[in-house]
Amino acid sequence: MKTNYMERVTYQGREGRKATVVRTSGLEDNSFGCKFYIGDNYLGIEWYEGKTELYAENAAENFIKGIKEYAQ
């Protein structure tokens, strides 16, 4: 099943790191998450069910600063 989501905000950092905060749409219980990139290489989406938008924003900031890695 395809998950529909909307992009909220994008963060860009060192070494081509980029993270976009996303939110599911059209579900009974919508969730926030992050899409991760290094350069043009799309790494994937991490969903944070039951967490706030601020939680997803912090994950995005930590990724672009090199504090957090994307676990594939």
The answer to whether position 31 is within a domain reads yes
Token representation of residue 50: 């039951």
The answer to whether position 56 is within a domain reads yes
Contact 19, 63 (CB under 8 A): yes
The answer to whether position 69 is within a domain reads no
Supply the range of the domain harboring residue 52.
5-64
Beta-carbon contacts of 34 under 8 Å, excluding residues fewer than 6 positions away, are: 19, 20, 21, 22, 45, 46, 48, 56, 59, 60, 63
The answer to whether position 28 is within a domain reads yes
Would you state the pLDDT for residue 25? Answer: 87
For residue range 11-29, list pLDDT tens digits in order: 999 899 999 999 998 878 8
The answer to whether position 70 is within a domain reads no
Question: Which stretches in the chain have pLDDT values below 50?
Answer: none
The answer to whether position 72 is within a domain reads no
Would you state the pLDDT for residue 7? Answer: 94
Number of structural domains in the chain: 1
CA distances from 67 to 24, 31, 54, 62 (A): 25, 23, 17, 5
Would you state the pLDDT for residue 2? Answer: 66
Q: Which pTM does this prediction carry?
A: 0.89
